[in-house]
Amino acid sequence: MQPAPALTTNFLVLFLAPEFLAPEFLTPEFLSSDSQSPSSPEQPQASGKTTNRTRLRVLVVDDEPLIAQTVAAILNLHGFDAIEALSGEAALVAARQVQPDIVLSDVLMPKMSGVELGIKIRQEFPAARVFLFSGQAATSELMRKAQAEGYTFELFPKPIHPEELIAKLRAA
């Protein structure tokens, strides 16, 4: 049995990749602003039951821990309930535990790609929205294969500006 993936704690990682997060996002104004949660009072679960959640659950998946932790921390600061997983396999375990509303995954990861993960998430959690992000040109072939199997995913560029990511996830 594999251990459950570590869940994100509620603090901001201060060792940020400079190409991922612009310096203006380290200001106290940004870190404390816009923390209203997106409203989503009744969330369907895979079992068909509903829960009274007010924050959208986001599962952030990236094999680079700094990126996964940073994205999850930013989303938590902006009203989402975000956790991270560092592989596709760990993401499936986490998804079964938390039943995310949104899965945001890197495309190119060892063992299981984000596209493969997205297909499995769609099969197990049809109501979950799946977004992929990548900074690699090699993702187009994986995306074409998924589309040939009847799966389409929205692809975000990596790096993505945090405000743009938050806006896209809120619109999901």
Could you read off the pLDDT tens digit of each residue along the chain, which spans 172 residues? 554 444 332 222 223 333 334 434 434 444 444 433 333 334 444 444 445 568 899 999 999 999 999 999 999 999 999 999 999 999 999 999 999 999 999 999 999 999 999 999 999 999 999 998 887 666 777 777 888 888 887 878 777 888 888 898 888 8
Q: What is the pLDDT of residue 52?
A: 52
Task: List Cα–Cα distances, 8 to 3, 63, 75, 90, in angstroms.
Answer: 15, 15, 11, 13
**Is residue 96 assigned to a domain?**
yes
Name the β-bridge partners of 60: 84, 104
- The verdict on residue 132 lying in a domain is yes
Helices 114-124 and 139-148 sit at what angle, rounded to 10 degrees? 30
Residue 44 counted as domain residue: no
Total domains in the fold of the chain:
1
Q: Report d(CA 38, CA 49) in Å as an integer.
A: 20
Q: What is the CATH number of the domain that holds 116?
A: 3.40.50.2300
Contacts of 127 (CB under 8 A, 6+ apart): 44, 46, 101
Give the type of residue at 133.
Answer: F
Residue range of the domain that includes 95: 54-171
pTM, two decimal places: 0.65
